[in-house]
């Protein structure tokens, strides 16, 4: 071919412009995809330039422009020797750029999930086989200027490659998209299409401008000569781009209600692609229309792809395949037949254009799909989901950006809460500045956290309850754990302290605290004054344990004011649980107190033989039980009950005196007095017995105390005399003791003769009763019966009075004799007493028998003593004796001789 | 334990029975229990703390409680559940009255109702325990006071 230097120059310039389109594609694709994949997108664009040129040189050019084999495929010029001539060099250069353009179209559509390695494979396949073969069908022979490809021979017209370059790229991309699928998150399961925003629209727009600029060469250079058509072609190219943009912008604005920048970008490109095929055979108006329609078709195809859930990352398919097909068809629609000059009719041209589109499509789509489907089975074309999420920059190229590093550390920190991490700071970068500030924020947070954990640690472990309180007595959120333990309640923050203690202390203390709290917050009152007024300084709290009882704790509360300038901002309270110490101290106090009062008791008891004392205590308990039984059983009238009780109390008094236990005797005496009072009352009520019950309990307590003491004594005692032997001594001892005691008080001298008293003759069950009776008789004897030593002396008697006791057994039972050698029964005195107390009338007076008088003697209230004292005088002694004996079903026989003796004989049957 | 204090407790209970039924009620002869104590079918136990410590309880037969329930609520032959609830109500009211009279000086707990279980009761009372029979109609309930 003869080409001038100017032609060659133009081809070289045009090639350079097409080369720049690579930069344009790179910018557009980077701008429309996410920054985490930016490296991957960019490097794919650069890579496919090199790979495609290499592949094209090795086989591509030969298959496309080599000597044709039946119009299907070229067969010569492998490893194109373009250095063999100027024309071949220039031509190869131009065509190589076109091949690279077709190849690079794919990278945009499949961006963000196709593996770099897989992409390189697809680039090789396009540049080496797919593009050159279909290119041969349309443009085969262009190098020599003779049409050789079968499509070309049929009249197929594609001036600069709407089909050959652009739609091929589109078809390949579509095939790959079917294999690799959409990006994660692009389509929701319910069908929503989610917008994935590009990283930089400014970058994309620069890319579009570069592409547009490049197209000057793409279309303009396809004349392969500098001739008159070039200027017009370039102009129509520019016009189509413009109308493509405008039409798409208007349409998009109307439909979407806002100007979508993607449509502005892709509308331009669509117009450029559309005009690429027909630009040499249409006029300016047609060019404008073709561009506009191309844009609209692009818009439509874009929506259609979304409808079919095909994810084209940059809308490469709508632009290059959609507009490309339209452009190819518009050759028939608008092309001037005179300029086309291939003899085809309109329909014929249309048919062959369509044939071209379809056959190239089938070839490009088919080969790609088959080839890459197989490769996909061996090694997936798509990256893993994780890699897709973390971004191909990192996943494919091990490259990171500062932003990514910052993000990674921040993400880890947010998940683990580990404030010790710091992000990497890349100096002199914007991200580095952010990273630096971030580190400072984290550092100060960490400091606060560490400090906070120290305080929390203190609060958790301090043994006192610590809390802050405001004016309204509300407890602040951070308090020591011990506070919850002390009050046995959780969740105290926000509660009022006054409310907390309200149910735990008496009403009086609660009110005192309310008053005190008001004073606390008054800054004018001095601390010392306040301290004295603190009602909770040392106080008991009673926590209702919800089981009918209380948990008692002793606490000490102190309140410290926290001032802010001159006002009391808050109060810090310290609550100390001193239950253990207080209980211990009070125990010791009680022991001390008890000791003092018990000492007296103790000394008294010490003098008594333990075995005897136990016997005495048993008897005492027994009597108390009897009294209680009377109260419990409520038998008989109230007055009868009183009399019954009296008997037992009297016995207790007797016993107490026996052992010289004054404290007990006194209690019994008071008891007797009370009973007397009640007996004198007109109308007795049940409530009157309350005092008696109280006295019983007091007696009871005394017995308990004595019990404790004797146990203590016993534990020191090694030898333990037998119970039985004590008994014998007990009865005799009791009589003797009673006699001696009262005798010395009354100034009389007494001796007790117990030779005939054989204890074994008395069955154990009745011994106590016998003793009681004998003791009563002894008392009476010493007080009433036996005379003073002087008196006795004057009668010629021994100054010492004698009491004789004897016990013997016979077939009927036991026979016990008590005898004193005193005055004997004074019947006259008895008679007077009886008359005075109204027991007998004056008339009966003279006729009263001795037997009757003795009977009277045994009645209650019949004492000849002037007044009652601890020892005798209430006139119940004889009555008691009679009761005792009759309880045993025994009989009393009285013998007496005035001035000589008085003898009582008890005959007690034994079963 | 002083006579006067005992009297106060007794008055609260006697008055209570008299007021709710309109029929007379009176105390019987009081006595002491040292170790064991008297428990009828249901017992309302009220813990006391503060200046005096221990507990008091009121124990009554099912029949008596049934009759009271009938008077107060109008049901003939009330069921066990209702009777137990009634026991609780009575205990609450009495505890409340006691609180009114004595609340200033000592703490009165929320009462609990027990059936039998002498151990649970005894453990709270400070011996010796004063038992006061409370007569109403032909029943006897018992008020027990075990305070120091």
Region A695-701: mean pLDDT is 88
What residues of chain B lie within 8 A of the CB of A547, using their CB? 47, 112, 120
A575 membership: H or E segment, kind and range: strand A567-577
SS3 of A737, please? helix
Burial of A552 (0-12, 13-18, 19+ CB in 10 A): middle
The confidence band for A210, taking pLDDT boundaries of 50, 70 and 90, is very high
3-state secondary structure A368-419: HHHHHHHHHHHCCCECCHHHHHHCHHHHHHCCCCHHHHHHHHHHHHHHHCCC
Round to whole Å and give the CA distance between A50 and A100: 8
- Give the integer Cα–Cα distance in Å for A380 and B44: 82
**Degrees, nearest 5: CA angle A880-A882-A887:** 95
CB A80 within 8 A of CB A62: yes
pLDDT level of residue A221 (50, 70, 90 thresholds): very high
Which range of A325-329, A867-871, B80-84 scores highest in mean pLDDT? It is A325-329
Task: Please tell me which of A96-105, A625-634, A700-709 the model is most confident about, judged by mean pLDDT.
Answer: A96-105
Residue A543, CA atoms < 13 Å, CB-side half-sphere: 13
User: Residue A722: which pLDDT band, with cuts at 50, 70 and 90?
Assistant: very low
Contact A484, A490 (CB under 8 A): yes
Q: What is the three-class DSSP state of B147? A: strand
- The pLDDT value given to residue A842: 66
Residue A821, φ and ψ in degrees, nearest 5: -105, 45
Separation of alpha carbons A573 and A726, rounded Å: 66
For residue B56, what are the β-bridge partners?
A: B46, B145
Contact A693/B30, CB-based, under 8 Å? yes
φ, ψ (nearest 5 deg) of residue A184 = -60, 130
Lowest mean pLDDT, pick from A117-121, A502-506, A876-880:
A876-880
Residue of B nearest to A543 (CA): B109
Digit-coded pLDDT (tens) for A305-343: 999 999 999 999 999 999 999 999 999 999 888 888 888
**pLDDT single digits (tens) A570-621:** 999 999 999 988 888 888 888 887 777 777 777 777 777 777 787 888 888 8
Q: How far apart are CA A585 and CA A122, in angstroms?
A: 95
- Indicate whether A725 pLDDT > 80: no
Give the SS3 label for residue A835: helix
* Whole-angstrom distance, CA of residue A883 vs CA of residue A878: 9
pLDDT per residue over B115-132, tens digit each?
Answer: 866 676 777 777 788 999
- Asked if A544's CB is within 8 angstroms of B47's CB, the reply is yes
The pLDDT, as a whole number, for residue A475 is 93
Closest-CA residue in chain B for A625?
A: B32
In B, minimum Cα distance to A637 occurs at B29
Give CA separation, A225 vs A5, A799, A893, B13, in Å.
Answer: 10, 178, 173, 127
The owner of tokens 């120091």 is B148
Structure tokens at A866: 């002037």
Gap between the Cα atoms of B90 and B96, Å rounded: 10
For the segment B26-35, what is each residue's pLDDT rounded down to a tens digit? 888 898 887 7
Tell whether B38 is within 8 A of chain A (Cβ).
Answer: no
Q: What's the predicted TM-score (pTM) here?
A: 0.48
Q: Cβ contact (<8 Å) for B49 and A547?
A: no
User: Which of A59-63, A272-276, A441-445, A907-911 bottoms out in mean pLDDT, i.e. has the lowest?
Assistant: A907-911
Give yes or no for B29 touching A (CB within 8 A). yes
- The 3-state DSSP class for residue A193 equals strand
Q: From edge to edge, which strands make up the β-sheet containing A465-469?
A: A465-469, A567-577, A550-564, A539-544
Its sign, for the CA torsion A662, A663, A667, A668, is negative
Distance from CA of B73 to the nearest CA of A (A): 26
Q: Residue B57 forms beta bridges with which residues?
A: B45, B144
Strand partners, A813: A909
Closest Cα in chain A, distance from residue B7 (Å): 8
Q: Is B52 on the interface with A (CB under 8 A)?
A: no
> Does the distance separating the beta carbons of A632 and B124 come in below 8 Å?
no
Q: Is the Cβ–Cβ distance between A675 and A646 less than 8 Å?
A: yes
Strand order through the sheet with A749-753:
A749-753, A800-809, A813-820, A901-909, A891-897
Asked whether A739 and A782 are in contact (CB, 8 A), the reply is yes
Out of A547, A549, A693, the one facing B31 most closely (by C-beta) is A693
- B7–A546: do the CB atoms touch at under 8 Å? no
User: Which residue is it, tokens 């191309």?
Assistant: A294
In this structure, what token pair is assigned to residue A704? 């308990």
Q: What are phi and psi of A871, to 5 degrees?
A: -90, -45
Q: How far is CA B63 from CA A194, B73, B77, B79, in A?
A: 79, 15, 10, 11
Whether residue B49 lies within 8 A of chain A, CB to CB, comes out as yes
- For chain A, state the CA radius of gyration: 65
Which tokens in the block code for residue A165?
């370059």
Q: For residue A45, is pLDDT > 50?
A: yes
Structure tokens at A275: 């005009």
| DSSP letter assigned to residue A496 | B
């Amino acid at each position: 071919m003869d080409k001038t230097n100017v032609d060659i120059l133009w081809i070289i310039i045009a090639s350079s412009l097409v080369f720049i389109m690579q930069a344009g594609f790179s910018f557009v694709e980077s701008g429309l995809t996410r920054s985490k994949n930016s490296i991957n997108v960019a490097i794919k664009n650069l890579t496919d330039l090199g790979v495609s040129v290499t592949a094209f040189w090795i086989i591509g050019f030969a298959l496309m422009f080599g000597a044709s084999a039946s119009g299907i495929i070229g067969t010569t010029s492998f490893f194109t020797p373009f250095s063999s001539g100027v024309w071949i060099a220039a031509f190869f250069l131009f065509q190589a750029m076109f091949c690279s353009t077709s190849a690079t179209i794919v990278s945009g559509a499949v961006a963000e999930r196709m593996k770099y390695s897989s992409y390189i494979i697809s680039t090789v396949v396009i540049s080496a086989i797919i593009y050159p073969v279909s290119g041969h069908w349309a443009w085969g022979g262009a190098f020599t200027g003779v049409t050789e490809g079968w499509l070309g021979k049929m009249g197929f017209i594609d001036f600069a490659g709407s089909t050959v370059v652009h739609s091929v790229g589109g078809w390949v991309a579509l095939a790959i998209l079917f294999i690799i699928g959409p990006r994660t998150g692009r389509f929701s399961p319910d069908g929503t299409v989610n917008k994935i925003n590009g990283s930089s629209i400014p970058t994309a727009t620069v890319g579009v401008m570069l592409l547009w600029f490049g197209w000057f060469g793409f279309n303009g250079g396809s004349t392969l000569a500098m001739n008159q058509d070039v200027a017009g072609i370039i102009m129509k190219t520019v016009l189509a781009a413009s109308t493509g943009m405008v039409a798409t912008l208007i349409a998009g604005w109307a439909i979407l209600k806002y100007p979508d920048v993607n449509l502005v970008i892709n509308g331009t490109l669509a117009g450029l692609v559309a005009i690429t095929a027909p630009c040499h055979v249409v006029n300016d108006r047609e060019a404008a229309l073709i561009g506009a329609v191309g844009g609209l078709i692009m818009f439509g195809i874009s929506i259609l792809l979304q409808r079919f859930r095909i994810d084209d990352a940059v809308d490469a398919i709508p632009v290059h395949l959609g507009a490309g097909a339209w452009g190819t068809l518009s050759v028939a629609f608008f092309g001037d037949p005179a300029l086309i000059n291939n003899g085809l009719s309109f329909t014929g041209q249309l048919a062959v254009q369509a044939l071209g589109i379809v056959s190239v499509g089938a070839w490009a789509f088919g080969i790609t799909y088959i080839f890459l489907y197989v490769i996909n089975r061996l090694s997936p074309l798509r990256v893993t989901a994780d890699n897709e999420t973390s971004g191909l920059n990192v996943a494919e190229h091990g490259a990171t950006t500062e932003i990514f590093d910052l993000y990674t550390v921040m993400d880890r920190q947010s998940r683990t809460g580990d404030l010790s991490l710091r992000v990497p700071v890349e100096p002199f970068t914007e991200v580095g500045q952010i990273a630096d500030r971030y580190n400072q924020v984290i550092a100060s947070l960490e400091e606060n956290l560490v400090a906070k954990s120290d305080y929390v640690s203190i609060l958790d472990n301090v043994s006192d309850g610590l809390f802050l309180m405001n004016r309204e007595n509300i407890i602040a959120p951070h308090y020591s754990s011990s506070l919850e333990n002390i009050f046995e309640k959780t969740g105290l923050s926000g509660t009022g302290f006054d409310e907390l203690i309200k149910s735990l202390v008496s009403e009086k203390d609660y009110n005192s605290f309310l008053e005190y709290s008001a004073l606390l917050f008054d800054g004018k009152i001095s601390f010392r004054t306040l301290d004295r007024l603190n009602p909770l300084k040392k106080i008991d709290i009673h926590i209702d344990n919800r089981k009918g009882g209380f948990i008692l704790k002793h606490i000490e509360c102190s309140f410290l004011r926290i001032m802010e300038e001159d006002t009391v901002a808050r109060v810090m309270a310290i609550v100390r649980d001193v239950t253990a110490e207080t209980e211990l101290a009070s125990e010791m106090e009680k022991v001390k107190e008890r000791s003092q009062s018990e000492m007296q008791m103790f000394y008294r008891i010490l003098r008594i033989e333990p075995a005897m004392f136990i016997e005495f205590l048993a008897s005492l308990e027994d009597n108390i039980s009897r009294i209680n039984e009377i109260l419990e059983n409520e038998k008989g009238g109230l007055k009868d009950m009183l009399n019954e009780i009296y008997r037992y109390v009297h016995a207790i008094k007797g016993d107490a005196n026996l052992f010289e236990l004054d404290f007990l005797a006194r209690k019994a005496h008071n008891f007797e007095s009370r009973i007397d009072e009640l007996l004198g009352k007109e109308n007795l009520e049940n409530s009157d017995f309350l005092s008696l019950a109280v006295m019983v309990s007091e007696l009871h307590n005394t017995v308990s105390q004595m019990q404790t003491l004797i146990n203590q004594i016993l534990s020191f005692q090694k030898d333990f005399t037998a119970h039985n032997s004590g008994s014998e001594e007990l009865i005799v001892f009791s009589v003797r003791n009673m006699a001696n005691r009262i005798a010395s008080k009354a100034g009389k001298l007494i001796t007790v003769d117990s030779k005939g008293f054989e204890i074994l003759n008395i069955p154990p069950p009745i011994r106590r009763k016998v003793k009681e009776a004998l003791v009563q008789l002894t008392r009476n004897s010493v007080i009433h019966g036996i005379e003073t030593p002087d008196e006795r002396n004057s009668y010629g008697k021994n100054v010492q009075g004698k009491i004789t006791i004897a016990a013997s057994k016979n077939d009927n039972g036991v026979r016990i004799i008590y005898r004193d050698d005193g005055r004997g029964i004074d019947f006259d005195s008895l008679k007077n007493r009886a008359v005075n107390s109204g027991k007998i009338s004056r008339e009966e007076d003279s006729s009263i028998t001795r037997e009757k008088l003795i009977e009277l003697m045994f009645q209650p209230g019949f004492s000849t003593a002037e007044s009652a004292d601890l020892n005798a005088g209430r006139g119940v002694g004889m009555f008691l004796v009679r009761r005792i004996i009759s309880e045993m079903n025994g009989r009393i026989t009285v013998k007496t001789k005035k001035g000589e003796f008085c003898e009582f004989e008890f005959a007690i049957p034994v079963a | 334990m002083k006579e006067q204090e005992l009297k106060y407790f007794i008055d609260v209970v006697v008055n209570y029975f008299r007021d709710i039924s309109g029929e007379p009620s009176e105390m019987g002869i009081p006595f002491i229990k040292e170790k064991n104590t008297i428990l009828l079918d249901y017992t309302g136990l009220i813990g006391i703390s503060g200046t005096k410590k221990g507990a008091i309880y009121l124990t009554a037969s099912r029949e008596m409680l049934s009759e009271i329930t009938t008077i107060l609520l109008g049901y003939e032959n009330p069921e066990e559940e209702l009777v137990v609830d009634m026991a609780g109500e009575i205990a609450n009211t009495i505890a409340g009255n006691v609180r009114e009279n004595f609340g200033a000086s000592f703490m009165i707990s929320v009462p609990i109702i027990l059936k039998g279980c002498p151990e649970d009761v005894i453990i709270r009372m400070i011996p010796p325990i004063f038992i006061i029979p409370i007569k109403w109609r032909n029943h006897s309930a018992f008020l027990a006071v075990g305070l120091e």
